[in-house]
Amino acid sequence: MKHTLPHGTRRQLLLALGVLPLAGLAHAASPVAELPPVEVWKEPTCGCCKDWIAHMEANGFKVFVNLGGTNAARARLGIPQNMASCHTARVAGYAIEGHVPARDIERLLREKPTAVGLAAPGMPIGAPGMDTPGYGGRKNPYNVMLVAKDGSASVYQKYEGNNL
């Protein structure tokens, strides 16, 4: 004889027991819910910053924007001037300078290195926010740099060829 439970009762029981995720019956926890908020400083007239913000939001980040104060934020967060770009952000205690791809920020948050943060110096064509139709599909090689507490930097991710 087969025993059946009323609709939804089995799910409630498994949830109560804490085994529903193990049973593969629940929806996987969305990584979006786990991403920390991003605070951005940008100048009001910068369009590529808006495009980078859209890239971040499309990748599950909630972004809060401050208009103006970019240079002060950059200095306060410890990004050296030679790593500067057009906007500065902060996420989970890390500084993010310029058009850094969301996947590199996610990697940074997973690895948690002792560092100031990441920078994509300048405004590299092909980077998120610098990849709109106005650039005609061009993609220039660039590096995302890991900025150390002493101001030095090392290559964190290279973008060239197929991984642009």
**Average pLDDT rounded to a whole number, residues 15-41:** 56
Residues forming beta bridges with residue 42, ordered by sequence position: 67, 87
Tell me, what's the pLDDT at 47?
87
Q: To the nearest whole number, what is the mean pLDDT of the chain?
A: 84
- Summarize pLDDT for 97-129 with one digit per residue, the tens: 999 999 999 999 999 999 999 999 999 999 999
As a whole number of angstroms, the distance between CA 74 and CA 43 comes to 13
Q: What is the mean pLDDT of the segment spanning 84-96?
A: 97
Please tell me which of 21-30, 43-52, 57-66, 132-141 the model is most confident about, judged by mean pLDDT.
Answer: 57-66
Helices vs strands, H then E, count in the chain: 6, 7
Closest CA to 52 of 89, 81, 84, 94: 89
Under CATH, which architecture does the 36-163 domain have? 3-Layer(aba) Sandwich (3.40)
The model's confidence at residue 144, banded by pLDDT at 50, 70 and 90, is very high
Torsion of CA 13, 17, 23, 25, to 10 degrees: 50
Domain spans in the chain, listed from the N-terminal domain onward: 36-163
Return the SS3 of 148: coil
What is the C-alpha to C-alpha distance for residues 83 and 119, in angstroms, rounded to an integer? 6
For 105, the enclosing helix (H) or strand (E) is helix 102-111
Higher pLDDT, 6 or 130: 130
pTM of the predicted structure, to 2 decimals: 0.78
pLDDT at position 69: 95
Q: What are phi and psi of 149, to 5 degrees?
A: -60, -25
